[in-house]
Structures are given as C-alpha cells and as structure tokens.
Structure 1
Amino acid sequence: MPLKEYPAGQAFSGVIGRTFDVSQPAWPAPNRAAKGAQNVLFIVLDDTGFGQLGCYGSPISTPNLDALANDGLRYSSMHTTALCSPSRSCMITGRNHHSNGLACITEGSMGYPGANGYMPFENGTLSEILLQHGYNTYALGKWHLTPAEATSAAGPYDRWPLGRGFERYYGFLGGDTHQYYPELVADNHQVEPETSPEQGYHLTPDLVEKAKSMIADAKQVAPDKPFFMYFCTGAMHAPHHVPKEWADKYKGKFDDGWDAYREKVFEKQKAIGIVPANTSLSRHDPDVQDWNSLPADERRLYARMMEVFAGFLEHTDHYIGELIAFLKEMGEYENTLIMVISDNGASAEGGPHGSVNEGKFFNNVPDDLGKNLAAIDDIGGPKFFNHYPWGWTHAGNTPFRRWKRETYRGGTADPFIVCWPKGIKAKGEIRTQYCHAIDMVPTVLDALGIAPPTKIRGVTQSPLQGFSLKSSFDDAAAPSLHVTQYFEMFGHRSLYHDGWRAVCPWPGTSFTESGLGFGAPMDHDKLTELDAHGWELYNLNDDFAETKDLAEADKARLIAMIGMWYVEAGKYNVLPIDSRGTLRLGEERPQIAVGRKKYVYYPGTQVVPGNAAPLLVNRHHSVSVHANVPKGGAEGVLFCMGGNDGGFSFYVEDGKLTYGYNYVADQRFKVQSSNGGIPEGDHIFSFEFTPTGEADIAKGKGVPANVKLFVDAHPVGSGELPVTIPLTLGLAAGVAVGADTGAPVMDDYAAPFAFTGTVRKALIDVSGGAVEDQEARMRMYLARQ
C-alpha cells in the first residue's frame, strides 16, 4: 500500500487512535518537482564581447559553445547593464540593476536605494523560486552579489549564495580572482585550492569538476530531481591566465592587428547573419592607436596579449564542453534548458597599452610599456595579473562602438545562446527580438510552467520587470515583448524604445574627444547641459551598430525619449547619478564593528577580505605580531595584505625582519633589519608606516612613507617608500596572519611561505600612536585578547 501523504503546512490527514493498531499514518509530502521537470543551466562568461565567440564571427575557436548554438538559438539583440554585478543581479532576479540596489559593482556601492549593494529580498532569485518547486540549486564561480563589506567570516551570510536560495556553492565572492591562486569559498567558508600551479592547477577545470560532482551527488540518489545550476567562470575577466600551450595555438594569428580583426569579424558576422546585411561598421575609436603606425615591439606585445586572451577563451570553451559532455553522458542534456551569456561587453580595464597588472587601472596608475615588454614571455602565467589594450577591447565588441562601463552597444550588447533540445524545435537559427538580462528569469519560468511567486520565505515579492522570450523559441517572427529599457552606468545613459536608442555618453563620445577620463565627476549643472545638448539618437532598424546620429533630424522623438529615460529612472531608483568611477572604491561604508582603532587577528582563521579590513592606504598605521621563534631561528610570513597585484608583507627572510611593499606589481620595495638574526623565544615584531608627503590619487600615487621595524619596541631598521598604492590593495586583497595564502605579495618567496615558528596573534593599530611609546601597552593588549 502506498504511503499516505499530505501537503506540508496542512493538517495531518491520517488517523490517530489510542494505539498504533487502530491508527493510520500519514506523512508530510516531500517537496517534489513536477514530473518531467527540466534542468536549468546558466553559463555566464565575464567580459566577453559580441565579436569574440566563434559563432558570433570571431576567429577564436569555441567549438563547444558553437555546438550549443547549432543545437539551439543565437540572439543578436541581447543586452546587459555594461558592468558585472549589476548584470548578474538582473540575470538571477528578473529585475533591473538599480531595483536590485546594484547601480555599480558592490565595491562601488553608495548610500542610496538604487546603489547600496544590498539586493532586496523582495526581489527573489531564480534559485529561491526553483527551490520551492523541488529543485536542487547550485552556484559555481564568480558571485559578486554580496555587499563587499559583508564578505568576511563575520557575515552576515544572508546575501551569500546559500542565503539566496543556492544549496551548494563553490567559487569566489569578489569581482575577479587569480586563476592560479583563487580566493575560494565552499558554501560559507574559505578553502584553499587542492593543488598548486606547479601541479597544474587552474580555476576553470576546478569549477567544472566541482559542477559535475554536485550534479552527480544528487542524481545518483534522486535521478528525476531537476537542478538549477548558475555556472560563472572567472574567464574572460582579467587576469587572462592560461597555460602557455593554449596561447601558443594562436601564435601569429593577430599580427595584422585589431583593425584587421574588426574587418574580418564584421564580414563574417554579416555572412552568418548575426548582424543585418545593411549594417555599417562603427568607426575606428579615437582612443585606440592605429595599429600600422605602432613600433614593431609594441605590435609584438599587443599581439601576444591577444594570443593569451584567445587561448584563455578556447581553454574555457574546452572545459565548458566537458560539462556539457557530462550532461550527455548522464542522459540529462536533452532535458536541460541552457542559457549562455556574458555580463557585459569586452573590458577596457587594461588601458590603452594593456597591462601586466589590472590593479593599476583601479588605482589610476599608468602602465609602463617597457616593463610590459619585459614581461612578454610570462604573460598568461601566474606571475602577472594581465589584461590586453583598448584596441582589442574595441575589436572584441565588433561591430559596435566602445566597451564595458559605457552604455553604447559595445558595452551592453552581448552574445546570448539558448539551447534546449527537448523544448526548442529550431536548430542553429538566429533570433533578432530585443531582450535584456532581466528577461532570463521570466523566460525560464514560462518554459517551466511556473508562475512567479507572490511570497518567498514570507517576504512579499515585487513584480518581475523582464519579459519571456519563449514565444521566440520556435517563431523567428514573434514580436519583441521587451519594448522599453533604460541604461545607466557611471553617468553614461541610454534608452531603448521600440527600435530606437537615445544615448547620452559621459564623459563623452571618447576620452580623446572630451578631454576627460573615465570617472570624471558630473555635477548638477553639467547634467542639465547634457540633457540639453548631449544626447544622440539612433534607429536600430536601419543602423544596427549606431553609426548615424539622428538627434538633429528627429528632435521631437529625442526629446520624448529623454523624458522617458527620466520616467524609467524614477520607476527603478536610478537617481542620483554618480559618475566618479574608481574614486567610489575608496568611499567609507557601514561595517558590522564600527569606530575601532585597533584590530586583532589570529593565525589559522579565514582571510579577512579587504572591504572588511581596516583601510591602510595613505594613513599612519602599525602592525605588531606576537610570535615565538624556536631554537635555530625561523622564517616566513608574519602578516600580509594583498597579492602579486599589490600589497605588503611583513616576514622573516634569511634571518632578517623584512617589510616588503608591492606597488601594483610595478615596483617592489624592501626594508630590512640592519642587525643580526631575529631573537629566539616570545617576542613582538612590529613595523610602523608613517606618511611623509601628500598623495596624488588622480595620478595613481599614494603617500610616500617611512617604515620603521621593531623587536619588542627596539628599533632594528628603517627605510623609505617613494610611492604607495593610492586607492585599493586589490579587489580581493585581505588580511592573512602567519602565511601568504594567495599569489605571493613579494617575488622573493613562494606562497604560502608560512612562518616556521608560532604566530600567536597580530594587532593593527590605526590610532596614530608611535610604536616606541606604545609597545608595553600593545603587549598587554595582545595578551588580553
């Protein structure tokens, strides 16, 4: 006899007698998915432009993604927000990024409802919805949706992946990570990679292996239970890291430069129909150098940077192929709705000349061509945090103008592949319907036959703001349901409405033409002037790549669309506009523990992320470490913050107490003790950082400083730092005690270079008091913690 069940939350439907023999059992029904429910797989690439996948006209080999397109659909008018966190919030909630509190990346949050970084619970995620319908839910790779100041072990964890409806998580919480030394989190705790770069470790295959195991873990127990997997590679965001043999596949393939790439890709795009035949290629961007006029050494460097990027993309495609092959092997492929998307257009964070350290961009530090040339043989390996130059960014977004962070279509138009063998009859076709990342959740729910919930965990839900694309699956002529869509990113604004786009670029159509750089502040008067004279107008039906400005010819339409932009801005919490770019990274934000001048940290604990650690740039501070040195001495890291892209390390090397400073991988400085080896036994090892001049943040220079070293308050060495990091030690840089757990800050030791004595605890003091005057107090303070 089958078990009797009753819906959870309803009254018991069995019979309760005085004894079991006169009673009838009944059980709360398990939360089972509907019979035949489809799996859902989102594959989210990072910083991948419209013209970079093979099936979108690129010469880069992406056979596995191309195969998904051939077995499904490619959309030519998918749009994102022009930046990662904002776009990702749209993908999993079906609401606009300002509605999600994500006007910017979480590190650039501001104290306004549309920008505070706190994705509200009334905007439920697809994982939270499908969890209610009996799905397993998994997230892997890049998250970047937790307020940056809440990513430490102190939480709160309610906006980590497991707090937003995912049952399992493996990946990194920040915006990017080192592909060989990633900052990894499993569920709600930090973990270290299982192998090293020397043993062949790379993040992408690690993510794929974990994804396969999560699916297998559940399917071997409950084969009919569907899953939703949100799989987000670190690729193709910088650093462009890939084993050398993958990059070498492309040797010589880009020697003719970015302009030639654009022309070839554009012709291919027209030939395969991904852009209309009447499309005109957008102009050569004024901020991009003319390839043919560059010196041979520069062309060689830039070609190699693109070879590394291409190898990285093919490597990523290969491992995505392994995940798809696994689904086929398990018999789950046909029954899985797969959506592949990028979070924005190709990235310009490498600057005009490319970079061996993307951290320079976030600190306004210009790149040095000579140093980049010297690094050419190591680009792609673990030593550098590399990124290609603007020319390849522009080429990657062919046929559009501009790039990530800007709301021209180069920043917002992205590849989008939908493959669902059991649910879509059409194969290998192109769809032209206008769509946006907020349409993904409504499309999935429509395909699965699930109504958006009115409540999730007791929280009344806001309406979805996107539109289903299901009607276009088997009907190429289905009308676009998404008629109006606003855009805003760092003051760069645009509006789509019924085939037209109005665009108001900031700081201008290019940096060269405006005379301003990224992050130029926009005040109220400037905004008023822009609304009067700064908008452009394009008819996408005739001008797919936005090359013919009709603002003067159709002023009435433009004025109406500007007004419509403000209506949308009011509806979705877009205001106030804040164009300040990287300067927003340095804003003070609420912390769980406020008003401290002293911070105590312990070895063997999770790394404290930079946004939850004290801000040490451009200010007086000291660090004291209570440690025991065994007989015969010790070596290793006592305390560090940062990675090989920038930061500082306090360590013992060759018996000498050492302070090492890494200025955005451009220069490294060392201050060492001048006397003999460090003493044995219990001691307090300290350094004091004292600014000796002013910072010039706009030019990428933090304060110069004097560094003094102490053992038990006795000075043992001092030295000068001519320049320091002005804004951030790195998006993922955090506090580590007793070891350098990621990519090593200094290049004279190998990670983790753990201290071979015993570290008891460490104290950061930002009160401004001198170490010499406070050592006894520090010893007492450390001893009482």
Structure 2
Amino acid sequence: MEEYKPGTTFPGKIGLTVGESDPAWPEPLRARKDAPNVLFIVLDDTGYGQLGCYGSPINTPNLDKLASNGLLYNNMHTTALCSPSRSCILTGRNHHSNHVASIMETSTGYPGYDCYIPFENGFLSEILQLHGYNTYCVGKWHLTPAEQMSAAGPYDRWPTGRGFERYYGFLGGDTHQYYPDLVYDNHQVEPEKTAEKGYHLTEDLADRAIHFIADAKQVAPDKPFFMYFATGAMHAPHHTPKEYADRYKGVFDDGWEAYREKVFARQKEMGIIPENSELPYHDPDVPEWDKCSAEEKKLYARMMEVFAGFLEHTDHQIGRLLDFLENIEEMDNTLIMVISDNGASAEGGPTGSVNENRFFNNVPESLEDNLAALDELGGPRHFNHYPWGWTWAGDTPFKRWKRETYRGGTSDAFIAHWPEGIKARGEVRTQYAHVVDMVPTVLEILGIEPPEEIRGVAQSPIEGMSFANTFNDAKAEGKRNTQYFEMFGHRSIYHNGWRAVCPYPGPSFRKAADETGYKFGDPITEQMLRERDSNGWELYNISEDFTESNDLADQYPEILQELINQWYVEAGKYNVLPIDGSTVARFAAQRPQISKDRSRYVYYPGTQEVPENAAARVLNRPHVIAAMVDIPKGGAEGVLLRHGGRTGGYTLFVKDGKLHYIHNYVGVKELHVVSEKNVPEGRVILSYQFEPVGKPDLSSGKGTPGTGTLYFNEEQAGKAEIPVTMPNMIGLGGGLAIGQDSGSTVTDSYKAPFAFTGTIHRVIVDVSGDRIEDHEAEIRAALARQ
C-alpha cells in the first residue's frame, strides 16, 4: 500500500476508470517506532520529607520502588504554588511567562498575572499529539480561568482544548474525595457509586487512567501515550479509608520536632542530603509540641495519622496504575516523572481544621468541636486539614512551606524512572533543576524539536533546559545556572550555587508582625519595596548550606547585590513585574465575564453543580427562590434546589407532603423553615423568601440575620427566624443543583440523591437586593483551594 504525506502531491495514478488507476493513501499520523510512553505523576501539597524514599516514616512502597529502580533528584524546584507549577510542568515556560503568577482565582490585568495561558505557549500534550501520541489528562486541572469553568465555557482552555484527547477529573483547586465535582471530557458527571458503597476519588481516577490506556492499547498496541496523572491528593480535604489512617496509630505521638529530627537523620543516612547539612531553627510560627496540651496532642497526632494514611492510600492507587503498565508489558518503555506541585501546605492554620468552610467564613473552631470529630477524621463528613506544625515537619530539612519561596516551598521530591533509557538504579542526582525543565527533557529523549507553530499559532521559545544528560551520568554538568522565584511578593533567586531570598511579609508571620508590622496579603508599596530591597534580603551559599540555615548577607554584600540585580533582570525578562504582594485586591479585581452580572437567575431541571463563582450569590442580601412545578396526584417529594453540602449550604425540598427550607450554617447547625400545610397538587409555584432583619458581622463569622418565609403561589405557607447565616462562602461539598442533592447532602433530613418525583419546569433565584461582601475572607478561601 502506497502512502504519502498529507499536503504533498498524490503519488498514485488517476485514470478514467478504477481499473486504469493506482491508489495511494494519506499517511496516518504515527509516532516513531518504539517511542516511549510518557507518564507525569503530579502530587499535591506533598513536602520534601513526606515520601518514604525521602526519609519519611510514611509507607509509600510504589513510589519508593520507582526511586530504587530509577533516579531520585534532591535539587528539583517548583514555583511554591499549585496552578503556577502545573503551568510550568506542561509548557516548559516560567509561570509568569504563562501569565499564571498565582492561582486562577486571583488573576489581575497584567501580562504575567491574567491567568490566560497563551496559545503560543504550547502544552506538551499538544506537541505530542502532533507526533502520534494518545494524550490523557486524569485528575486535578486548575489551569482554566475561574470565570470559564462553568458549562458556558468557553472550552478552549479546558484540558480537551489544550491537546488532551480525553479528560476525567476536576477543574478547580480541590474537591471532596468522596463527593467530587467531576468532569468527563467537557461535561459534568456523577461518580458511579457512593461513599457508602466504597467510593473514593483517587481510586476512581486510577481506574479511569487504566481504562484510558487500555482502550487505545488493545486497538493500537504500538501507539504511545502521554498521561498527566494528577490525583489532587494530598491536598485538603485529607480523606482516606479509616484502615489506612489506623496503620499509623501512635507513630506521630512524639510530635513534629521529633519527626523533623528523625527524617533529617534518615535523609543523611540515605545520601539524599549532604552530610554537612544543618537542620534550621524551630519555626517561630509553630508551637513547641511539649507545650501543647494532652488533648491538643491527641487531636494533632490523629490529624497527621489521617494525612499519612491518605498518602499511603494514594501510593497504593498509583501502584495499581504501575502494575497495569507492568501487566501489559509497557512499564520498561514508559518514562515516568513524579513531582509535587509545591511544598507541604500550611492552610490548616496553627491548630488544624475539621471544616475549612468555618475558617473561610470566619467561624472559629474550638478544640472541643474538633475533638468531637476525632473518630470521623478522614471520612466524608469533614473537610479536614492538619496544623502547620506538620507542614513544617513535612518540608524537612528545609524551613517554611507552600506559598513562600524558601526551599520549603520550592524544593520538592522528584523521581525519574525509565528502565529502557536509564541504566542507573537507585541513584541520587544533585544537579539543580526546575519543573520548566521537564518538557524539554521529554522532547530531547523523544528526539522532537519544539514546534514553530501549533494549530497555526506561532510558538514562543521554551524556557526550560533539558536535564536528560543526567540520566546516565551522575557527574553531568547541570544546565540551569539561574532561576528566579516570586509568589505574592515573596521573592528569591538561585544563581551559580548562591541563593538570595526576600521573604514577604517576613521570614515568619510572627517576625513580620514584630519587626515590620506587615502581614500576609498586604499590598507592596514603592516605599515598602525599597525598604525590603535595602534590608530584607537574605543570602545563602547553597553549595555549602543545603538547607538555607546560615544567612551570609552581612558577610557578602557584593554577592547579594549582584543577585538582587539579577532578580530584576529575570523579572523583566519573564513578565514578573509589577510586584504584587496583595491578596484581597487581586481577588476583588474586575475581570472579563462570560455574561453580565444579573439579579435574576433561571435554572432548569437536570442542572447540576453550577460552580460557586457562576451560581446565584444569595448571601447577605434579600432573595427569593421560586420553583414552578407540577405535583402529581398523591403528592411528590425531593429536592428542588440545593447549593453546598455538609460543610455548609442551603436546600429547598419537599418531604412528607411539606415544603422545607434548611440553611446549614457551616456544618454547625441547621436552621429550618417548614410549611404548615401540605403542598397542593397540580401546577404550583413553591418559593422561599429571605428578608434581612439586621446587619451582618462578617469578621465574627455571622452573616445577615433574617426572616425566612415559604409560599404556595402567593399564599404564605410557613415562616421562621433565621438568626445567623453564612457570611462569605457556601459549603465545599458541591455547587448549585436542581432536582436532586447528590453526594455530600446539605442536611441529614434526607439521603442522596433525593431526586424530585414531580415535574420541575424551572427554578428562579432573584437576588436583586444589595449584597455585603468580605473580600478578605473570600481570598483566604481561594488561596486554600489551590
């Protein structure tokens, strides 16, 4: 059979009849013979000292096996935050070059900050698709502008719009592990089973990854694949089957200082860190374990047990995917790269949390309340996160954590495994590298030149540098001599073995408050910038001081000034300016919207999981929810509208013949309005009206109080006082849905999905009243879901 390249001259013969003609076919797009598969495994919020192969007591046998049969890198770096790092991993360009200075919810109108990843910054998926690869994305995405994640699209910045042929996962920064917000390709779906029947998101994602690969390999076994497998674990909520958490009972009872000391010693024994490394000072923001009460120790230790179980459970699911590759004889010719998107997360605060929604709404958590949830931590009823003492411990041997550009935020575990291409086994690589280097490394291995254009769009230069030369040469010279970092005004730069850091608001929250008065999220003024540039930078000789323990700024001012100058050079080159330390202002910034703001929302039956940022915003304002329905003879029951979940939300439903409205105040209590009469049969408008009777106290976690009234058509059917409402944010368990409450139900008054058995024609939500907002609380919520 004769083939020819599409776009070239037809080489066959065309006569008057088929008998006088010779056929030829356009050549199918094929990868080169024996091209390896490529698998990126992206962990979330996993610190340098949390994998077993990096000295942790947490059991991660499958990842450890990759390290022992491949390479472990001790000098890999990320941006210190989720979306920015992921953009680098997939494009090979720096995060400001990708316009992703921060998470997607905090975009601002500057080239490095608008969160619209340019199409001239092609994704690895787009490149490999052009070279005959199947391309799959499974798990967390968080690379679509927040205002484009609803069903209204546009879809060109969803995974399937950026070169991935198939997608299954969640688009945002986090999701409930038992009741996730799932998207399949470009439409929302529900999990195939419930938490009560054993559902867990990570297991589901592993199943889907296996199915994607199997679907194609059984038809075209020689066609390679690229898979981006990003589970979202170990981001909050820390959800894991109880049996996994229970495996760690007592393991962490001696506290976070002991954890750091033991892991630090183990890292030296394993040759992961230099023998002369020092363990940095006790972080001022972390309480000493011995000064915690017995009850605090009990709670905090269990929170860490749950996290450890979550990580081991995740490792097991990764192992299932690896076992499948082994079974189909694809393991040896699959290049696997494992990376975390940033250091361990401190978003649980100093005392941890069992319901992050309380934190987002300024509702304090008490030790007593959290202890009451102790036996249920890791289960579906709570949205839990450990205290930042464990964050600090998880980033051993470094100081600080995610969102900061000390090494605790930017230095991450990295494993490379490829039996057919990497001869070394179980060796440590020390060359300096950054996640922007992953794409060019893959391209060099595959013998692919970066394309000049993709789908007609001219491509920008790739900014990463391949480290493929280190695969089989431990002494190979690293190619990356300079790398800048910036996150919320926290800046640093690496240059030829030296590292300069300008922490913002300071080296710790406590020191910043005591010495400068600045706090996280404060905007950086010109005066503040000059002040920080004059006396706020620290200097470390990383080639001799691996853990940034000894500040040499006073000893080598000339070197420090050289690095500061170099930082500004890099900043100018990669769209880092203007320097922005703000959070509230970023979140409150006006952005282009798909539709104009409106006061009347119309929803139709079957609507499911409208995201929070696209749903009707009813908090702290008068509003009406009105459902036009047909009630059959004998009555009906079920949910009319639901928004949120167990951690907070509201629901309008019919049960036992009555119309009900329940406002779940951040999982603490349910405020209930019920009709006095039964819902009439036939066509009827069932509505709930909220009228404020006072002002909110947002800083104290109290939204607008009011009166809730139920109506059948225009007839009042029930009334009750609503003394407190959620001030800032609906719950974390789900978006707005019509006709059912699937997953994490707003109330225990019914069981999911409690689908409406009558006919819903439409549900209208009117929010024409003025709304009072707390942008500072909203930005905290956005930052924690990254």
Structure 1 residues 296 and 470: alpha-carbon distance in aligned structure 2, compared to 1, 3 A threshold: same
Hey, what's the Cα distance between the residues in 1 that align with 2:260 and 2:613?
A: 39
- The within-5 A match list for 1:700-779 is 700-729=701-730, 733-768=734-769
- Which deviates more from structure 2 when the two are superposed, residues 560-569 or residues 229-238? 560-569
Which of 570, 579, 584 lines up with 2:581 in the alignment?
579
Residue 73 of structure 1 contacts residue 430 of structure 1 at CA under 8 Å; is this kept in 2? yes
Find the counterpart in structure 2 of residue 280 from structure 1.
278
Cα offsets for 1:607-634 (capped at 9, x unmatched): 2212222333333332211122233333
| SS of 2:605 mapped into structure 1 | coil
Does the alignment pair 1:566 with 2:568? yes
- How much has 1:367 moved relative to structure 2? 2.7
Find the counterpart in structure 2 of residue 529 from structure 1.
531
- How much has 1:444 moved relative to structure 2? 0.4
Cα offsets for 1:283-308 (capped at 9, x unmatched): 21111111111111111111111111
Letter in 2 for 1:627: V
Find the counterpart in structure 2 of residue 110 from structure 1.
108
Cα offsets for 1:97-132 (capped at 9, x unmatched): 111121111122222221222111000000000000
Hey, what's the Cα distance between the residues in 2 that align with 1:77 and 1:699?
A: 44
Cα offsets for 1:265-295 (capped at 9, x unmatched): 0100111011111111122111111111111
Hey, what's the Cα distance between the residues in 1 that align with 2:770 and 2:431?
A: 63
How many positions carry a matched residue from both structures?
Answer: 767
Find the counterpart in structure 1 of residue 774 from structure 2.
none
Residue 484 of structure 2 contacts residue 494 of structure 2 at CA under 8 Å; is this kept in 1? yes
Residue 363 of structure 1 contacts residue 582 of structure 1 at CA under 8 Å; is this kept in 2? no
Which of 385, 407, 410 lines up with 2:408 in the alignment?
410
| SS of 2:511 mapped into structure 1 | helix
- How much has 1:368 moved relative to structure 2? 2.2
Which of 219, 234, 237 lines up with 1:236 in the alignment?
234
Does the alignment pair 1:147 with 2:145? yes
Which of 491, 494, 505 lines up with 2:492 in the alignment?
494
Structure 1 residues 35 and 657: alpha-carbon distance in aligned structure 2, compared to 1, 3 A threshold: same
Does the alignment pair 1:645 with 2:647? yes
| SS of 2:725 mapped into structure 1 | coil
Letter in 2 for 1:123: N
- How much has 1:206 moved relative to structure 2? 1.0
- How much has 1:235 moved relative to structure 2? 0.8
Structure 1 residues 344 and 705: alpha-carbon distance in aligned structure 2, compared to 1, 3 A threshold: farther
- How much has 1:263 moved relative to structure 2? 0.6
Hey, what's the Cα distance between the residues in 2 that align with 1:363 and 1:432?
A: 44
Which of 387, 390, 405 lines up with 2:388 in the alignment?
390
| SS of 1:546 mapped into structure 2 | coil
Residue 621 of structure 2 contacts residue 770 of structure 2 at CA under 8 Å; is this kept in 1? no
- The within-5 A match list for 1:291-310 is 291-310=289-308
- How much has 1:756 moved relative to structure 2? 2.6
Structure 1 residues 769 and 419: alpha-carbon distance in aligned structure 2, compared to 1, 3 A threshold: closer
Structure 1 residues 745 and 582: alpha-carbon distance in aligned structure 2, compared to 1, 3 A threshold: farther
- Which deviates more from structure 2 when the two are superposed, residues 24-33 or residues 106-115? 106-115
Cα offsets for 1:399-449 (capped at 9, x unmatched): 111111111111111100000100011110001111111111011001111
| SS of 1:614 mapped into structure 2 | coil
Find the counterpart in structure 2 of residue 777 from structure 1.
none
- The within-5 A match list for 1:394-473 is 394-473=392-471
Find the counterpart in structure 1 of residue 782 from structure 2.
none
| SS of 1:715 mapped into structure 2 | strand
Hey, what's the Cα distance between the residues in 1 that align with 2:362 and 2:400?
A: 20
Residue 38 of structure 1 contacts residue 337 of structure 1 at CA under 8 Å; is this kept in 2? yes
Structure 1 residues 390 and 720: alpha-carbon distance in aligned structure 2, compared to 1, 3 A threshold: farther
Cα offsets for 1:323-380 (capped at 9, x unmatched): 1111111110000000000011111111111111223444454432221111001100
| SS of 2:263 mapped into structure 1 | helix
Residue 63 of structure 2 contacts residue 315 of structure 2 at CA under 8 Å; is this kept in 1? yes
Cα offsets for 1:581-617 (capped at 9, x unmatched): 3664454432212142211111113422122223333
Structure 1 residues 699 and 394: alpha-carbon distance in aligned structure 2, compared to 1, 3 A threshold: farther
Find the counterpart in structure 2 of residue 267 from structure 1.
265
Which of 176, 192, 195 lines up with 1:194 in the alignment?
192
Structure 1 residues 696 and 120: alpha-carbon distance in aligned structure 2, compared to 1, 3 A threshold: farther
- How much has 1:536 moved relative to structure 2? 1.2
Cα offsets for 1:533-578 (capped at 9, x unmatched): 2111111112111111112222222222222222222222222333
| SS of 1:174 mapped into structure 2 | coil
- Which deviates more from structure 2 when the two are superposed, residues 348-357 or residues 101-110? 101-110
Residue 279 of structure 2 contacts residue 397 of structure 2 at CA under 8 Å; is this kept in 1? yes
Hey, what's the Cα distance between the residues in 2 that align with 1:581 and 1:729?
A: 20
- The within-5 A match list for 1:678-697 is 678-695=679-696, 697=698
Cα offsets for 1:696-744 (capped at 9, x unmatched): 5555554444433333233333444444334332578422111112311
**Is there any run of 5+ residues in structure 1 with no aligned partner, and where?**
771-785
Residue 106 of structure 1 contacts residue 146 of structure 1 at CA under 8 Å; is this kept in 2? yes
Hey, what's the Cα distance between the residues in 2 that align with 1:104 and 1:14?
A: 55
Residue 436 of structure 2 contacts residue 465 of structure 2 at CA under 8 Å; is this kept in 1? yes
Find the counterpart in structure 2 of residue 78 from structure 1.
76
Residue 671 of structure 1 contacts residue 718 of structure 1 at CA under 8 Å; is this kept in 2? no
Residue 611 of structure 2 contacts residue 735 of structure 2 at CA under 8 Å; is this kept in 1? yes
Which of 316, 319, 331 lines up with 1:321 in the alignment?
319
- How much has 1:155 moved relative to structure 2? 0.8
Find the counterpart in structure 2 of residue 629 from structure 1.
631
TM-score (norm 1): 0.95
Structure 1 residues 769 and 555: alpha-carbon distance in aligned structure 2, compared to 1, 3 A threshold: closer
Residue 490 of structure 1 contacts residue 519 of structure 1 at CA under 8 Å; is this kept in 2? yes
Structure 1 residues 266 and 87: alpha-carbon distance in aligned structure 2, compared to 1, 3 A threshold: same
Hey, what's the Cα distance between the residues in 2 that align with 1:523 and 1:370?
A: 42
- Which deviates more from structure 2 when the two are superposed, residues 202-211 or residues 358-367? 358-367
- How much has 1:485 moved relative to structure 2? 1.2
| SS of 1:68 mapped into structure 2 | helix
| SS of 2:408 mapped into structure 1 | helix
Hey, what's the Cα distance between the residues in 1 that align with 2:271 and 2:176?
A: 37
Letter in 1 for 2:381: K
**Is there any run of 5+ residues in structure 2 with no aligned partner, and where?**
772-786
Hey, what's the Cα distance between the residues in 2 that align with 1:769 and 1:502?
A: 48
Structure 1 residues 526 and 700: alpha-carbon distance in aligned structure 2, compared to 1, 3 A threshold: farther
Find the counterpart in structure 1 of residue 507 from structure 2.
509
Q: Superposition RMSD on alpha carbons, in Å?
A: 1.9
- How much has 1:246 moved relative to structure 2? 0.8
* Identity across the alignment (%): 63
| SS of 1:650 mapped into structure 2 | strand
Find the counterpart in structure 1 of residue 783 from structure 2.
none
Hey, what's the Cα distance between the residues in 2 that align with 1:720 and 1:352?
A: 35
- How much has 1:657 moved relative to structure 2? 2.6
Hey, what's the Cα distance between the residues in 2 that align with 1:619 and 1:543?
A: 55
Residue 349 of structure 1 contacts residue 361 of structure 1 at CA under 8 Å; is this kept in 2? no
| SS of 1:608 mapped into structure 2 | coil
| SS of 1:285 mapped into structure 2 | coil
Residue 351 of structure 1 contacts residue 361 of structure 1 at CA under 8 Å; is this kept in 2? no
Letter in 2 for 1:638: L
| SS of 1:65 mapped into structure 2 | helix
Find the counterpart in structure 1 of residue 605 from structure 2.
603
| SS of 2:168 mapped into structure 1 | strand
- How much has 1:695 moved relative to structure 2? 4.5
Hey, what's the Cα distance between the residues in 1 that align with 2:580 and 2:746?
A: 33
Residue 406 of structure 1 contacts residue 492 of structure 1 at CA under 8 Å; is this kept in 2? yes
